[in-house]
Structure 1
């Protein structure tokens, strides 16, 4: 495996896991993630995670109480604390789905489940190089084209140790408490006065409420100049966008969620 590819994935892991309710650019016109929407790594009969009864049709889904208690209306201002609780629960309540993401020149698409624990599988492209990743039962596999490498913190192989370190990042940042902390770090969030049309990667058009942090804020020492959340009229997670600075470098991270509640199965690579 090329170490640079692994380091790129490590840098993107924060963006991939903390945007909590999905992120997409305001114009929603980027085609790169869409081109990868149906790409997943080759799999075997090894242990797997799959959405079960938690997966559901959109018509049967109901938003968590932490969301319905919020005022989802034009021009409203929401407190960061309660909104953080809502955001941290909304996506997981679907049980499964797909997500496209971009962070600078990096972009990709993954399928995910929350049953019983967070698992994810898909691809990411960094500097023109495609990386396949799987996170299952606390273990990470990464394949940059030379075969999957399984993370092992006790290994004498430095690449396996690095992959295991990425897995530890996933364990930390996939925790819903981390999501709640991120959103609540902005004291106030303002909702726009009109719905925004969002086109998802599966071609579906969604009328979404756009809410934005009212001022710059800091999260775990990371300056966030702006963060935007998009939710459907029933609190369905649609997207997020965050502009932040890390190690003196400014970047804009986007995510978009789609096919929420549809069956997903994630297996260990062969």
Structure 2
């Protein structure tokens, strides 16, 4: 992993807690034997927000979407994360300076997902954690005598820890204030467009990374549709654009076969 791609991981964590490092060409590459190319079998897509009563989410109480309003970071963080967790399932495309990628995720049971990263992939579901390097899939093992298994454990366990929703809330609320700019029309991964409220955060620092710009686009149900971040650390600057879709679409995560 290049230093630029390593830096890209941290800003991605700021989006919705279910974000990981996913800068990769060749998303259509086949997975290992016994799994689909994505490692997940897709269900039928419901309407956005179907089955979720967002009005009853206490985290979103008092969060009024209106142009030029200032909103405390703690409210934005708690609401958008609670909404994401209520959807439970979703997908995220990523565009960075180094390439594009895809993450398929689930919050409960645990935030399992399949991640494409260059020629590598990462799979986490419950106690199952796998990493695919240039050789192939290897199961993550903390005390293994196999260096590949130990490296897989280091990568997957760090990814798992950072993608806890509580960590995401802490990161998002580090921006003390957000301004609701206006409703904007944004492009969706399916080629269509949709109106969404744009929220801009005040610049902030988190874990040694300076976030000079962070914008969220959310709909009237507080569901995040897009996020863009400009960040820098160790003399490296990167721009990351995430688009979210298939909220609430159930996925069956199938462990790889090493």
Residue 155 (str. 1) matches residue 162 (str. 2): no
Q: State the alpha-carbon separation in 2 of the partners of residues 14 and 62 from structure 1.
A: 31
Give 1:3-18 correspondences, 5 Å limit. Answer: 4=1, 11-18=7-14
1:102, distance to aligned residue in structure 2 (A): 2.9
Greater mean deviation of Cα atoms: 178-187 or 97-106: 97-106
Q: 2:228 aligns with which of 223, 241, 262?
A: 241
**Cα RMSD between the aligned structures?**
3.0
Instruction: Give the gaps of 5 or more residues in structure 1.
Output: 24-31
1:187, distance to aligned residue in structure 2 (A): 1.1
The two structures have a TM-score, normalised by structure 1, of 0.79
Residue 66 of structure 1 corresponds to which residue in structure 2?
Answer: 59
Q: 2:15 aligns with which of 9, 19, 42?
A: 19
Give secondary structure in 1 for the equivalent of 2:158.
Answer: helix
Q: State the alpha-carbon separation in 2 of the partners of residues 267 and 150 from structure 1.
A: 13
Q: State the alpha-carbon separation in 1 of the partners of residues 17 and 66 from structure 2.
A: 18
Residue 131 of structure 1 corresponds to which residue in structure 2?
Answer: 120
In the TM superposition, what whole-angstrom CA distance separates every residue of 1:62-92 from its partner, at most 9, and x where no partner exists?
3233125301111111011111111221211
- Asked if structure 2 preserves the Cα contact closer than 8 Å seen for 1:18 and 1:174, the reply is no
1:168, distance to aligned residue in structure 2 (A): 1.8
Q: State the alpha-carbon separation in 2 of the partners of residues 79 and 93 from structure 1.
A: 21
Instruction: Give the gaps of 5 or more residues in structure 2.
Output: none
Give 1:113-262 correspondences, 5 Å limit. Answer: 113-125=106-118, 130-193=119-182, 195-213=183-201, 215-262=202-249
Assess, with a 3 A threshold, how the Cα gap between structure 1 residues 13 and 154 changes in structure 2: closer, same or farther: farther
Residue 252 of structure 2 corresponds to which residue in structure 1?
Answer: 265
Give secondary structure in 1 for the equivalent of 2:212.
Answer: strand
1:103, distance to aligned residue in structure 2 (A): 3.2
- Asked if structure 1 preserves the Cα contact closer than 8 Å seen for 2:17 and 2:165, the reply is no
In the TM superposition, what whole-angstrom CA distance separates every residue of 1:122-165 from its partner, at most 9, and x where no partner exists?
4233xxxx222212224432224532122112112222211111
The two structures have a TM-score, normalised by structure 2, of 0.82
Assess, with a 3 A threshold, how the Cα gap between structure 1 residues 50 and 91 changes in structure 2: closer, same or farther: farther
Q: State the alpha-carbon separation in 1 of the partners of residues 225 and 17 from structure 2.
A: 7
In the TM superposition, what whole-angstrom CA distance separates every residue of 1:194-224 from its partner, at most 9, and x where no partner exists?
x2112221334221100001x3211233211
Greater mean deviation of Cα atoms: 198-207 or 172-181: 198-207
Q: State the alpha-carbon separation in 1 of the partners of residues 253 and 74 from structure 2.
A: 33
Residue 26 of structure 1 corresponds to which residue in structure 2?
Answer: none
- Asked if structure 2 preserves the Cα contact closer than 8 Å seen for 1:33 and 1:108, the reply is yes
- Asked if structure 2 preserves the Cα contact closer than 8 Å seen for 1:122 and 1:132, the reply is yes
Q: State the alpha-carbon separation in 2 of the partners of residues 34 and 198 from structure 1.
A: 23
- Asked if structure 2 preserves the Cα contact closer than 8 Å seen for 1:33 and 1:107, the reply is yes
- Asked if structure 1 preserves the Cα contact closer than 8 Å seen for 2:109 and 2:126, the reply is no
